[in-house]
Amino acid sequence: MIATKAGATLLGTAPPRLPSEAVLITGAASGIGYATAMRLARKGQIVYAGVRRESDAEIVAIEGGENVRPLILDIGDEASIARARTAISRAHDVRLTGLVNNAGISIAGPLEMLPMEELRRLFEVNFFGTIAMMQAFIPLLREHRGRIVNVSSIGGKLAAPFVGAYAASKFALEAASDSLRLELRPFGIDVAIVEPGAVKTPMWQRSADESLRVLDTIPQSSRIAYDEMIRNIVRFAQQMEKRGIPPEQVAASIDRALHDPHPKARYLVGSDARVRLLVARLPEGLRDRIVATIAGAPLKPPRIGRNKTKSRTVNA
């Protein structure tokens, strides 16, 4: 029996149903984001799957079932973020308890040669877009003492040649996450970082295609000095993709970061990530030699032929 305010009782009246917990995942169309959305949905979690195209929305809706709610979301567009926030805030059957910032892009190439507009676009998505997402959704998370999980990379701890732009955006995300973890703790919001190594995702191929597109805009005479090193790093990236862990392994770590009673600040994923973290902690000279050797980047400038004729000193 349930007592009413007037003192009467109602027989067989069920208690009001609490709104379901929901998690918003960006970049859910493929790779880590997709694997995370499917994992959480299978476990009964309501998942807002952020995708950029209607065709991707249809796929995740079909494959994720009733627990997946596709959301057209471009984190590089403030208006798109605002629409997503409005849609979730108006859904009275759910309460947002998790935000997984997974969406990101990559581009490789010599920092000397990468056009500034491409560098700005990279940061607009990987860093500024993620910050914009957190600014928009922290008020909703604060209501329910929710959690934020930022998908970074071991590249945010160890920068390799020719992926300096991508690594820089992840270094920035790591720093922002560390600050936010302390800033939001008084409100009961935990902030965790997931740092995978190489992962078998379409991002590798998209990154390679995008990098080649950008490099093709650079005159051959300007980039000829880097050609051999670029070929080496492309081969290295292809090898890492083949050896990479499945995205489901990263999804499992994201799941733990969302639901551990006492979440860690960082979740390192993959044996190569652990090795690279150890390398990152070495003295710079030794670290540089190891990274350059693995990446196929020379540590010394090319030898330049010298004039065999000895110069003479002429006294005035």
Q: Which two tokens stand for residue 262?
A: 């006492």
β-strands 2-3, 9-10 pairing: antiparallel
- Residue 291 in contact with residue 161, Cβ under 8 Å? yes
For residues 156 and 126, give the distance between their C-alpha atoms in angstroms, rounded to a whole number. 12
Active site residues: 166
- Position 2 pLDDT exceeds 50: no
Q: What pLDDT is stored for residue 4 in this prediction?
A: 43
- Position 28 pLDDT exceeds 60: yes
- Position 265 pLDDT exceeds 60: yes
- Residue 169 in contact with residue 126, Cβ under 8 Å? yes
Provide the residue ranges of all domains of the chain, joining segments of one domain with +: 19-295
- For residue 63, the one-letter residue type is E
pTM: 0.84
Topology of domain 19-295, CATH: Rossmann fold (3.40.50)
Q: What is the pLDDT of residues 204-251, one digit of tens each?
A: 566 666 656 666 666 776 667 676 666 666 666 666 666 789 999 999
